[in-house]
Chains A and B, each alone.
Chain A
Amino acid sequence: MAEDRLLTRQGLRTRGQLLRAGRKALEDRGYNATRIQDITDAAGVSVGTFYTYFDSKEELFRNLLIAVEDEVYGELADRRAGADDPAVRIGEANRLYLEAFRRNARFWAAIAESALSDEESRRVLTERRRYYRSRTIRALSRWQERGVIGTEVEIEAAAEALGAMTERCAYLWFVFGEPIELETAVDQVTAIWLATLGVG
Chain B
Amino acid sequence: MSEAGAGAKGGRSERTRAALVTAASGIFAERRFLDARINDITDAAGVSVGTFYNHFESKETLFAEVAAAAFAELRGALEGAAGQGRDDSWQRVEALIGAYLEELAGKAALWAAVEEAALAVPELRGLFWEGRRSCVEAVARGLGGRPGKKAPAEGIGPEAAAFALAAMAEQCGAQWFLFEPTRSVDDGVDRLTRIWARVLGVARG
Interface residues of A (CB under 8 A from B): 30, 32-33, 109, 112-113, 115-117, 122, 125-126, 129, 153-154, 157-158, 160-162, 164-165, 167-169, 172, 175-176, 178, 187-192, 194-196, 198, 200
Q: How far is the CA of A117 from the CA of B112 in the complex (A)?
A: 9
Secondary structure dominating the interface of B: helix
Closest to A116 in B: B116
The interface residues of chain A lying within 8 Å CB-to-CB of B49 are: none
**Within B73-121, which residues are at the interface with A (CB < 8 Å)?**
112, 115-116, 118-120
Complex Cα distance, B172 from A137, in Å, reads 17
Considering only residues 167-205 of chain B, those with a C-beta below 8 Å from chain A are 167-168, 170-172, 175, 179-180, 191-192, 194-195, 198-199, 201
Q: B residues touching A (Cβ–Cβ < 8 Å)?
A: 32, 34, 112, 115-116, 118-120, 125, 128-129, 132, 152-156, 160-161, 163-165, 167-168, 170-172, 175, 179-180, 191-192, 194-195, 198-199, 201
- Which residues from chain A contact B191 at a C-beta distance below 8 Å? 154, 157, 160-161
**Closest B residue, CB atoms, query A113:** B119
Q: Is the CB of A115 within 8 A of B179?
A: yes
Closest beta carbon of chain A to B126's beta carbon, Å = 10
Do B164 and A188 touch (CB < 8 A)? yes
- Whole-angstrom distance between the Cβ of A94 and the nearest chain B Cβ: 12
How far, in Å, is B179 (CB) from chain A's closest CB? 5
A interface: dominant SS: helix
B138: min CB distance to chain A, Å: 17
Residues in B whose Cβ lies below 8 Å from that of A32: 34, 120
What residues on B are CB-neighbors of A109 within 8 Å? 119
Contact B153 A191 (CB under 8 A): yes
Cα–Cα distance between A115 and B179 once the two chains are bound (Å)? 8
B171 touches A188 (CB 8 A): no
Contacts of A176 in B (CB 8 A): 118, 125, 128-129
Which partner residue on chain B sits nearest A154 by CB separation?
B194
Query: Shortest Cβ distance from B191 into chain A, in angstroms?
Result: 5
Pairwise interchain contact A200-B154, C-beta atoms closer than 8 A? yes
A113 with B120, Cβ < 8 A, contacts A157-B195, A172-B167 known: yes
In the complex, which residues of chain B have a beta carbon less than 8 angstroms from the beta carbon of A126? 175, 179-180
Known: A172-B132, A189-B164. 18 other contacts (CB 8 A): A30-B119, A33-B120, A113-B116, A113-B120, A115-B179, A153-B198, A157-B194, A158-B195, A161-B172, A164-B172, A165-B167, A168-B170, A187-B156, A188-B163, A188-B164, A191-B154, A192-B161, A198-B198
A72 to chain B, nearest CB (A): 15
Distance in Å: Cβ of A91 to nearest Cβ of chain B: 10
Chain A residues near B119: list those with CB within 8 A: 30, 109, 112-113, 116, 175
User: Is A195 within 8 A of B154, CB to CB?
Assistant: yes
User: In the assembled complex, which residues on chain A have CB atoms less than 8 Å from the CB atom of B120?
Assistant: 30, 32-33, 113
CB-CB under 8 A for A194 and B154, given A30-B120, A160-B172, A165-B171: yes
* Chain A residues with CB below 8 A from B156, complex form: 187-188, 191-192, 195
B116 touches A117 (CB 8 A): yes
**Nearest CB in chain B: distance from A50 CB, A:** 24
Cα distance, A161 to B179, chains bound together (Å): 15
Of the candidates A122, A153, A188, the one whose C-beta lies within 8 Å of that of B179 is A122
**Interchain CB contact under 8 A, B118 and A161:** no
C-alpha gap A39/B200 in the complex (Å):
49
